[in-house]
Chain A
């Protein structure tokens, strides 16, 4: 028996919106640690890792480890039927091939349940080694989304370069070129507006903007985004999920041939 209950159901809706365009089908792993997922996009260029810790749920019961294969577009369709203020419960009984999503309105006057078929998904689970990153940027997530959106009107790739001066996002295309430099700015009224750059070594990497833009679908989840970079390693773009976990996107760099 697996059951989780999340009073702030909108979080789960936002989580699904953040991954459904990147990944078609994925295995959700349910364990005593929490509700997690690791999946690559169909081109095997990006990887998303989600963790929602069991302590973050109002109720969490997992009698034995369970893997639930779901089509994320279908799951998102079902979660779209939950109101933003609804409490969401996810239930799966042992030995069944369905999962039930239950939505309760805050005043308890409307209760819906949606049953979805599970799938057998043959997915590869990758071991992600702990790494010391040469540069870590923390910045407002909305600002990062704006930069990715603006640069994708200029080119297909972004060069992210961290130096003592700050972090530079550059794109180049048929119509011209663009450079956006963000400097460290810790002296702001609100901590969520800060840009903090921790640099051990200068680092410059090139990435496909299509994926970066897809990652920014997670912007409604967190005021800040953390971008961790090292030479010739995938970048990690991390959004925290309201004290209960994270969504981390890993993106392999483009390299000069």
Chain B
């Protein structure tokens, strides 16, 4: 099974 990562795990909040 694959886990769907979230986009904010990669990009920092401004």
How many A-B residue contacts, CB cutoff 8 Å? Answer: 58
Please determine whether B12 and A157 come into contact, CB atoms closer than 8 angstroms: no
Task: Tell me whether chain A's interface is mostly helix, strand or loop, or mixed.
Answer: strand
Contact of B2 among A47, A125, A128, A255 (CB under 8 A): A255
Please determine whether A47 and B7 come into contact, CB atoms closer than 8 angstroms: yes
| Residue count of chain A within 8 Å CB distance of chain B | 24
Contact of A45 among B2, B6, B13, B14 (CB under 8 A): B6
* Interface segment, one of A57-65, A87-95, A174-182, A246-254: A246-254
Task: Tell me whether chain B's interface is mostly helix, strand or loop, or mixed.
Answer: mixed
Which residues of chain B have C-beta atoms less than 8 A from A233's C-beta?
A: 10
Please determine whether A125 and B7 come into contact, CB atoms closer than 8 angstroms: no
Q: Assuming A125-B13, A125-B14, A126-B12, is B2 touching A257 (CB within 8 A)?
A: yes
Known A-B contacts: A127-B13, A252-B10. Give 10 more (CB < 8 A). Answer: A40-B8, A44-B7, A45-B4, A46-B7, A125-B13, A127-B12, A128-B11, A252-B4, A252-B5, A252-B9
